[in-house]
Chain A
Amino acid sequence: MAEDNVIKLFKCLSDKSRLQILKSLIHEDMYVELLAERLDLAPSTISFHLKKLEDANAVTSRKEQYYNIYSINKEVFKASILDIIKEESTEADLQKEREDNYRKKVIENFFEYGKLKNIPAQRKKRLIILEEIAKAFQPEREYTEREVNIIIADFHDDFCTLRREMVGENILTRTNAIYRLVAN
């Protein structure tokens, strides 16, 4: 398990209500209202905790008729803490993890539900958001300027600035008014 996932899981477990939820789910799969009744918590509070448990990969959910049924992810809990501690990380792994975390933070800060809230002033952050937008382009496909604008406009209204930045940062190439994604 990657170190950031381990930390996320341990952070998630360091909460009494979430532990109670897991203790209930170890016996049987349950839906929100049932957990709320058993643990004497509001259904919204249960949903709140289940979301965190799901994000930490501690529980999974499936839809059954009108209900989302939650199950404990036993695989995650089979790993011993000793094994987790013994797992070695190379400096390269740690560096990559730091970069990934930074990238994730920037994306979380500047995007909300897939929309870019504002264009970062700092070049390093701007580059990350441009690379994120670039994921909407298919490799080796040719795009007209209008197509590029439409794709970028899904993220932010100022598609002209972003399009120019993507060309300037060599994420897109422009030849005779045709755009292509630059292969990594």
Chain B
Amino acid sequence: MRALEEKYISFIDERIAEHNIVGEQYKADDRKDEADLEKVKSNIYEVFKTLFLSDIKQLEGKDLAGIKDISIYGGFLQRFETIPDNWKISLDKAIEHGDTTKQVIEEHKLAVAVELKERFIAMFDELGRE
């Protein structure tokens, strides 16, 4: 589990750093709105990083037998269903009302959640049971 934690957190940190760098480049290039969109994305990585650390912390000191591994897997995966729920509702409303600005923001947030979910599953399959 420790290997999964470290690799997943390191992946998230790398993505945050990448988006922050791109955001800074956009700002320097007088493209503030695109810089803000990069900030939106890095905030979503931060949200899931915090949730992941919180889920991991809850398991600390407990018996980390196989069943617990399944618990972190299922528990954290569930976050990818519950957290983006409101973003999906917001996206549907934005599309319905032609609110392109909001639509783009919600699409970016959802894309980050999908990426993080896929990476988590892949890393868990590779390292989760070590």
Contacts and interface: CB of A to CB of B under 8 A. Distances in A.
Interface in B12-59: 29-34, 37
Interface residues on A, range: 10 to 19
A48 B97 contact: no
B100 A48 contact: yes
Contacts of A16: 29-31
B126 interface: no
A15 B100 contact: no
Given A15-B31, A15-B32, A48 B101 contact: yes
- The B contact surface, by secondary structure, is helix
A52 B37 CA distance: 14
Contacts of B33: 15, 17, 48-49, 52
Contacts of A45: 34, 37, 104
Contacts of B101: 48, 51-52
A50 interface: yes
Contacts of A51: 100-101
A113 interface: yes
A90 B103 CA distance: 39
Contacts of B37: 45, 48
Interface string A1-38: 00000000000001111000000000000000000000
Contacts of A15: 30-33
A44 B37 CA distance: 11
A112 B107 CA distance: 19
B100 A17 contact: no
B75 to A, nearest CB: 32
A47 interface: yes
A14 B30 contact: yes
Nearest to A115: B93
Contact of A44 (B30, B31, B99, B107): B107
Contacts of B99: 113
B88 to A, nearest CB: 16
A112 B104 CA distance: 17
Interface in A110-160: 112-113
Given A44-B104, A45-B104, A52-B101, A113 B96 contact: yes
Interface of B: 29-34, 37, 93, 96-97, 99-101, 103-104, 107-108
Given A47-B104, A52-B101, A112-B93, 10 more contacts: A15-B33, A16-B30, A16-B31, A44-B107, A45-B37, A45-B104, A47-B100, A48-B104, A51-B100, A113-B93
Q: Give the 4 A-B CB pairs with smallest separation, nearest first.
A: A51-B100, A48-B104, A16-B30, A113-B97
